[in-house]
Chains A and B, each alone.
Chain A
């Protein structure tokens, strides 16, 4: 505790920690005045979000930046009404039972933000709550903020990942600063996090330390279910995204690649393990809203790699019934995140998806997410097996389906749909067809428009002027008549100007020609000169351009 951060530079967190350790947390003013001022400045400098979590836990009433925890501590911060500082809030939090949702490290990233939408620094607050329990083990807690001090905003993200990684024993490769120290500290943190987190982890088994493979499996199965459109006949909604359900195309493609998906799945598994961890628990444990969001985001990615699936995944589904599920799920997740998925991965997911169709039914949320993904993928591989589609359809058609369907429908309208879900395909094709039908007629109308419109648009200006000058209601046919008159007038005008310019031996029409024309028209007379007309009818800007005027410096504009 006493030692500074391994970083070397005393960060606000370390300072706060020191203060916390030394000062009496119950009197926020005292310590604050003593050192809080300096620390406050430091803290305020740092992003409030970043510090909210850690400083709160450390300061326990020493607050400085983040007021994110204010929500819970408002009630108890009566004593310091004037200062609803994070410190008081932290104290209140400590007094009150910390919410389990906040404490869960993994859920911090996703579930925590959802319930704590109000607070901008959701992660920090969650982390802070996490660390609230840590103070009980002070030495460990002090380390925690120290660890987090190095990276600014990145720490937020890294902390969540870090926590997950710590739990999982993954190395903290993302911390840019103090990696060595951070790693050692993280290991120590592991201990600290592990003990207090266990109760929460129990509540949320998905968030607790789990082998990445397991989580991936769930997600993989989930994704596979999504892909297995053929298995789930009720998932017609998902199927609907496919405008063309042509099982023939998908099935042969699907069966053609039996082996590659496995290897690719494995690689994808590991790569996606990290992400699946965050996404997996989020998918499994979060409310349907989360999976929907996740799915929506994934749907697009899924579409991207679903395309690959179509081309590559062939015949995999039927053969890899048992193994590929976890791999496929992971891959699917990863792909969704990284749209550029390798063919092998896509094949793997595709293979695994259909095989998993049967299993993931248990995971409602997972299946939902997978369902949306699966629809995209199912469209690609073509759901070689009808049962796959059926299973995926059954799982998915929930809220997630709507958004991913729309996305998938648009993107995968070209993909053939597997034959097995003919009913689903029919239903899916029905909504998709009208979309397709609407598109072709549109381009036809754009042809003749550009020709007449600009001319008419210009004329309409004068037509409006006509109606303004008339000061009487007019019929539409009368306005059309005015347009014809204007056309004729312009023709006459150009001819006259050409004659006048030719008479003067010029090829350029000059204002003198215009004045001559107006004189002949009877608009300009000896009593009424052109300048008078210009002043009467044209706005000031044009007047300045037309009528030569003397300006300072012995200059005349426009030059004569």
Chain B
């Protein structure tokens, strides 16, 4: 079952930043604030780094539990740690 529900890995990923999406999310969250022009690029950078850290942590967790596949529990545990770290 684990194999059937695994997601195929993509070799190529797009490097473009979803600037519109980020701006929309920020506006929805904080309508009173304004985001500068290059600000969303830095937000995107921040997200990239966050996701990167999260993936690394999840991978570590999965390898520690000797699973070939990253599980939900691995991700959950990793998220706990990384979110705590990402608090400003």
Contacts and interface: CB of A to CB of B under 8 A. Distances in A.
Interface of A: 454-455, 457-458, 461-462, 464-482, 485-486, 488-501, 507-511, 513-518, 520-523, 530, 533-534, 537-539, 542, 545-546, 558
Interface of B: 2-3, 5-10, 13-18, 21-22, 24-26, 29-30, 32-36, 38-39, 41-52, 54-56, 58-59, 62, 68-72, 74-76, 79, 82-83, 85-88
A485 B35 contact: no
A462 B51 contact: yes
A510 B36 contact: yes
Contact of B54 (A468, A482, A530, A538): A482
Contacts of B24: 454, 458
A463 to B, nearest CB: 8
Q: By DSSP majority rule, is chain B's interface helix, strand, loop, or mixed? A: helix
B18 A461 contact: yes
Contacts of B50: 489
A508 B42 contact: no
11 contacts: A458-B18, A461-B14, A466-B54, A467-B10, A473-B68, A481-B75, A481-B76, A485-B75, A509-B33, A514-B42, A518-B49
Given A478-B71, A537-B48, A501 B33 contact: yes
Contacts, number: 197
A542 B40 CA distance: 11
A511 B83 contact: no
A454 B2 contact: no
Which are the 7 A-B pairs with shortest beta-carbon distances? A458-B21, A496-B88, A469-B55, A514-B42, A494-B29, A473-B6, A470-B55
A47 B58 CA distance: 72
A466 B55 contact: yes
B34 A473 contact: no
A278 to B, nearest CB: 56
A489 B48 contact: no
Nearest to A481: B75
Among B62, B75, B83: residue with most chain A CB under 10 A: B75
Given A465-B48, A485-B83, A497-B33, 19 more contacts: A455-B21, A455-B25, A462-B47, A465-B13, A467-B7, A468-B13, A475-B2, A477-B5, A477-B71, A478-B74, A485-B75, A485-B79, A489-B83, A508-B34, A511-B42, A523-B46, A530-B42, A538-B15, A538-B45
